Amino acid sequence: MRTIITLTACTMASITAMAQTRDIAYTEFDLPNGLHVILHEDHSTPIVAVGVMYHVGSKDEARDRRGFAHFFEHLLFEGSDNIGRGEYAKYVEKAGGVLNANTTGDRTYYYEVLPSNQLDLGLWLESERMLHAKVESKGIETQREVVKEERRQRYENQPYGSILPEVLKRAYTEHPYQWPTIGYMEDLNAATEKDYKKFYKTFYVPNNAVLVLAGDFNAEKATTQLTNYFGPIPKGGTIPRNKVVEPPLKGEVRDTVFDKIQLPAVVQAYRIPALGTPDFYAVDMLNRLLSNGNSSRLVKNVKDAEQKAVFVGSFSLPFEDPGLAIAFAVANMGVTPDSLEASMDRQFGRVRNEPIPPAELEKLKVQIETEHAMENGRMAGIANNLANAYTFLGGTDKVNTEVQQYLAVTADDLQRVARKYFVPENRVVLYYLPLNQKK
Amino acid sequence: MNRQRKTMKSPSFQALALAATLLIPASMTAQVDRTKAPPAGPAPEVHLGEHKSITLANGMRVIIVENHKIPIVSAQVRFDIPPIMQGDIAGYQDLVGELLTSGTARHTKEEIDELVDGLGARMNGSNDGIYASSLKKNFPQVMDLLYEVVSSANFPREEFEKAKTRALSQVSARADDPDQIAEVVGRALTYGKGYPYGEVTTEATLSKVNRDDLYQYYRYFFQPKQGYLVLVGDITAKEGEAMATKYFGTWKGAEVPVTKDEQGHDVVKDLGPIIPAGKQPPMPRDVRVAFVDRPGSAQSVIKVLFPVQLKPNDPMVLQAQVLNTILGGGVFNARLMQNLREDKGYTYGAYSSLDADRWCGAFSAGCSVRNNVTDSAATQIMDEIRNIRKAPVKADELALAKSYMAGSFARALEDPRTVARFALNTYLNDLPEDHYDTYLKKLETVTIADVQQAANRFLQSDSATILVVGDKEQVAKTLEGLSTTGVVLDFDINGDIVRIDPTEGATPAPAGMTAQDVLDAYIKAIGGSAAVGKVKDLKKEYTTSIQGMPATLVEYYKVPNNYAMEMKMGEMVLQKMTYDGTRGKMVGMGGEKELEDIELDELRANSYAFPELHYAEMEQLGRLMGIVDIEGKKAYRVNVKTLPGGQFDEYYDVTTGLKLRRKDYQSQEGGGYIQVITDYSDYTPEGGVLFPHTLHQGGGMDMTLTATSISVNKGIPGSVFSVE
């Protein structure tokens, strides 16, 4: 058993005087059953966000149960020993609140935002979900159909909707990141009651979760109540982790996907280091240099000056294990994918070969600083950021200090990571072409 | 708003946190009753937050909301511009926003982009203003640039050409995206293309757009007297006021000379007349099903649509919102979500919206579903809309909706921009000054009866358009039963009816055969040209029923081309038309008018007793499209060109030569077309010629006409055709 109090307030001042951002104050501790708790008190609006992040995502799935973590997310709204099917959301909405959840490769996050006098309701609901969630066969069958429709709506019926699954399956051969979080229908169809029970018992346990409260509450009273609700939940076993290390790509992977589209697209996915590593921050900064704002390099050159694209962007997938940076461009009228890719490659070549001007680095820093200030405007966002910092960034204090890791990136770092990661032999390139070009 | 924040720097808070941790040991855990939901504490008070409002000397109104929670300030400039018709350059207004930040008297686009990004700012233009935000420390420079852009954007030609090319690419890509198609076609069908909200941007309209259209629009509408400047965030009222005065205080706006056209519209040089929205679009007369084919779709996108007369200051606006929340407005427990997702598993999510608007409101309900449940899902949506009109909502549904809306109201106030939005809405929509102050109280008083009243007033389910974007081959046929007329209308991605269905001519007609051959065979089948030629006058009397009430229709013809018709219900004349060979007149419930232009042409085309004899001379005869199946019978399909751009199809029985069907495309008031299908049967001879005695019409209005008498050469007085 371990209790922690982290004091964050003083860590910032020494590092930089330029940051105009204000720190998120919080307390944190563990319950004896291993549940980590983070509290952020703010009385400016009479609402409270209640979030629980379980450290389980699609990378924890068995190879023949792809999509299970996300499917499970749906099922955990079905009820508990004390909550009937369909009542979970009713309690929240009747109280004037909202609720939702989402799943990634690494984690599953549930939350409610409630009027502040309904905090206990949020604690009860989330503790019921953790203690004894219950799923009936009607719920399983219905949600299976719902998830299939979610898959069709998001991936199959949207132009370019299959990009992520198509990239992942070529970018990873060993690691479970090779399948998308939504998974595959045949696996979900094959899932049995035994699978649900096992998954729930293994991952939905207090020692694999963090509970965050953010908003208008009294920390002392809230601690008593949350201890009452979550304290009795038994601790789970050691959490099994897929310790797969993906080997490096054996050279560039290139392929073509035919889709119901008119404008061709080019996707380049570069393998990058894991979230929270120093190089991750440099890579993420580099992505901003490439596509954050109209003066960024890809937007300014590929889209505007050369008019090769109607859209171009590059972003990092912030994965717990080594992830990907994806550059994506949709061709302007009459532009071939080859010519579009050449234009993109020129910009990647420039960051590898030419020093980054200091003014451009300064611009990135101001952008980072502004983003950091903006992301803490709402309780729901703060709760999510706190949970994320605790679970993935090496400590809750990162919610305030992560910005320093960005600001510490130098022009040399940018060039170094460009040369190390943004190179052809470390990427998957996909051309998206109209179906009628298929021979 | 509350400026006090507890931070870790406060010693008392640290002590509290310590105390909290000491409470942890398991022995301290108290028992709670898990079997039921814990009771709520006393309801917290919701504070709306304050704004300051001043008016500058030039008429521009400034709204300032002070909130220091995060070190960000935002500025919005908004001009109160009514919706205006874009006509044959539809789409130009969408480019205004992008061009706004593409160059000024002092800076190029590249320099503006560098400035914005260098300040870590956001700056986004639109066709009615601009929004910008940044850290407080950079905000003065952002305001500087913002003012420069609003007051002296110069819309460089080169940037315009680039933006236009990208927009053309994007319009062509619209065909790929079922949600975008549904959005664009949905608006066209809701409002009609004759209303600004229903206009559709196409490659053809975009190609006609010039840089000057945008520039003159900007100069004409971006004027201080109809402008608002909204400052929100880490700024004091005093600072905000000083900034507003410094930048916009002496701004005059561009001087744009205007002339007037015949209708009294302002005419702006290089842009043309400024035509505001006309009266609200008419409600369709029945439930129609509109289909946009997207072959190979994995899902159907369904939307149920109709316009709604609901302005933001309508006394029933809150009741309407409660109604929509219960039906499908965002809550998980809404009827559409519970029925279509949680009970049936048809969709990932089903929603509805009932939007108030100063000019024309709209209702929309819909979802995306797998192909083989498209008809079931559309049926369920229609049922839910009808049911909520029919039966009162349950008390717990009402309670949930009201709680949820009250909660949403409180949550929205977390963002200081909400307070500013409320203030701006109050001005723009002419709301009572205490509209938002009393929102929660008024919400509390909404009753079950109110909701039903709102349902009956706003949910015009009998005038709904059910739009489906999906795989026609798999889905369209199953939807026929949902349409009042039993017909599924095909639309293209631009919201135009598909007039020629290239797939319909299933098998080719025999080589060498022409449309004229088919018409000749028809004349032969009904008695031959000699018998037909003997018909000098003709009177056809039919009975039918209109909305369950018996009605009669009489048509008179006299050679060469005099025509009259009269439709009556009892003794009441519903419609009367006369054509004397040159002039035409229509008398209806709303008075009489002489017909001109297209309407006169249409009447003339209908004035022959045997119009098939005249297709060729009227240069109407189109093409023989092949042989298709009409309800089990093989039929020649003849496509006939009519008035400018118009056409219809006729289907002639391959075996008997008789006409089985005519498919018309009738233009509708407010734009768009309705496909009217007339089926002919019960051919019996009168005066040596076969006439169909049963006419079934579907499309515009579903009706069956049964001939009670058809008399040939019995003499018709000329006064019947008089236009005087």
Per DSSP, the residues of B466-502 read EEEEE-HHHHGGGGGGGSTTS-EEEE-TTS-B----T
Q: Residue A8: pLDDT above 50?
A: no
Q: Where are the domains of chain A?
A: 9-13+22-230, 253-437
Do the chains contact at A94 and B399, CB–CB below 8 Å?
A: yes
B152-195 pLDDT tens trace = 999 999 999 999 999 999 999 998 999 999 999 999 999 988 89
Work out the average pLDDT over B680-700: 88
- Shortest CA distance from B101: residue in chain A: A294
* Facing residue for B134 by CB, picked from A115, A293, A370: A370
Distance from CA of B8 to the nearest CA of A (A): 5
B332 at the A interface (CB within 8 A)?
yes
Least confident of A14-23, A246-255, B35-44, B109-118: A14-23
- Shortest CA distance from B414: residue in chain A: A45
Hey, how many other C-beta atoms are within 10 angstroms of the C-beta on A124?
24
End-to-end CA, chain A: 64
Q: Residue B670: pLDDT above 60?
A: no
CATH 2.50.20.10 fits B515-721, yes or no: yes
Distance from CA of B346 to the nearest CA of A (A): 7
Q: Where are the domains of chain B?
A: 52-175+197-273, 288-491, 515-721
A99 at the B interface (CB within 8 A)?
yes
Work out the average pLDDT over A133-153: 90
Q: Do domains A9-13+22-230 and A253-437 have the same CATH topology?
A: yes
A227 at the B interface (CB within 8 A)?
yes
Q: Which residues contact B10 (CB under 8 A, 6 or more apart)?
A: none
CATH 3.30.830.10 fits A253-437, yes or no: yes
Is residue B645 very low, low, confident or very high in pLDDT (cuts 50, 70, 90)?
very low
Cα–Cα distance measured from residue A384 to residue A390, given in angstroms and rounded to the nearest whole number: 10
A433 at the B interface (CB within 8 A)?
no
Work out the average pLDDT over B659-679: 70
Q: Do domains B52-175+197-273 and B288-491 have the same CATH topology?
A: yes
Q: Which residues contact B297 (CB under 8 A, 6 or more apart)?
A: A157, B178, B371, B469, B470, B471
* CATH code given to domain B288-491: 3.30.830.10
Q: What is the reported pLDDT for A275? A: 95
Least confident of B459-463, B515-519, B613-617, B686-690: B613-617
Cα–Cα distance measured from residue A334 to residue A30, given in angstroms and rounded to the nearest whole number: 59
Do the chains contact at A333 and B8, CB–CB below 8 Å?
A: no
B291-319 pLDDT tens trace = 999 988 999 999 999 999 999 999 999 99
Do the chains contact at A377 and B9, CB–CB below 8 Å?
A: no
CA B467 to chain centre: 11
Matching residue, tokens 């240099």: A289
Q: What is the reported pLDDT for B29? A: 56
Is residue B701 very low, low, confident or very high in pLDDT (cuts 50, 70, 90)?
low
B340-349 pLDDT tens trace = 999 999 999 9
Q: What is the reported pLDDT for B286? A: 84
Q: B398: closest CA among B335, B355, B310?
A: B335
Q: Residue B28: pLDDT above 60?
A: no
Work out the average pLDDT over B225-236: 96
Q: Which CATH architecture has domain B52-175+197-273?
A: 2-Layer Sandwich (3.30)
Mutate to test the interface with B, among A223, A308, A361 (most CBs of B within 10 A): A223
| Topology at the third CATH level for domain A9-13+22-230 | Cytochrome Bc1 Complex; Chain A, domain 1 (3.30.830)
Burial class (CB in 10 A: 0-12, 13-18, 19+), B259: exposed
Q: Residue B13: pLDDT above 70?
A: no
Q: What is the reported pLDDT for B575? A: 86
Cα–Cα distance measured from residue B341 to residue A153, given in angstroms and rounded to the nearest whole number: 13
- Which helix H or strand E contains A169, and what residues bound it? helix A163-171
Q: What is the reported pLDDT for B674? A: 61
Do the chains contact at A144 and B345, CB–CB below 8 Å?
A: yes
Cβ atoms of B308 and B465 within 8 Å: the answer is no
Q: Residue B63: pLDDT above 80?
A: yes
> Helices then strands (H, E): number in chain A?
15, 11
Look at strands B299-308 and B347-355 and give their pairing.
Answer: unpaired
